[in-house]
Homo-oligomer: A and B are copies of this chain.
Amino acid sequence: MSDRRRTNGNSESVDNYLKAILTLGGPAETRVTSTALAERLEVAPASITNMLQKLAAAEKPLVEYERHRGVRLSSAGKKRALEVVRHHRLIETFLYEVLDYPIEEVHEEAERLEHFISERFEERIAAKLGHPKIDPHGHFIPTMEGHMPLQASVKLAEVVEGGTFVIDSVDDRDARTLKQLEANGIKVGAKLRLKPRTATEGYSVNIGRSAKALDLSREMAGDIRIVPAQK
């Protein structure tokens, strides 16, 4: 429909490809496959190939791409991806803190607006928020210079040994699950006791000092990242 012609090679779509490659590549920035991108972006694999070829062929390529071997971000691509992530997370924080959005609604709005705000907007909301380092889901907000610490946490779903943990962050993409988490008092920074996986079928946890065990759904367990609690 639209045709915003941002003269350069940027666009909403390109932004989303770059973000997806950043996320799927992980901290090691391994190559990402077309299929993985196709799934994440909900787009046909053929469309992925097309876009990647274009991004790689540009004068200032945003990705490194070789047929049948996946993609990774170029340094320009990584810069832009981090900028978009910064926008996203600042906007989420702003919606939550200043506009009192329910936590589960910030992602969708940010997902749209992240592509269209100006430098000035970015700077002003950052200032208003006191230059936050973490968004309401516990994710690091990249700096203006494009730096972002590693998220040193693991998915609750992948933890086998039991123990006491602190909730590091939660995935923001699925509003339904996020709302469930919220409803059960599962929020960033909360303490949680986890039963060893061997002892139980699903994921059984106690939130805070609650005596009542809570059974997490697969989605919930997959969307929570935790770190061991310091004694």
Contact = CB atoms under 8 A, between A and B. Distances in A.
A50 interface: no
Nearest to A120: B105
Contacts of A98: 98, 128
A15 to B, nearest CB: 9
Contact of A12 (B4, B105, B128): B4
Interface in A104-138: 105, 108-109, 112-113, 116-118, 120-121, 124-125, 128
A112 B2 CA distance: 12
A136 to B, nearest CB: 15
Contact of A2 (B12, B95, B113, B117): B12
Contacts of A99: 121, 124-125, 128
B120 A109 contact: yes
A117 B113 contact: yes
A11 to B, nearest CB: 4
A180 interface: no
A59 interface: no
Contact of A3 (B2, B5, B120): B2
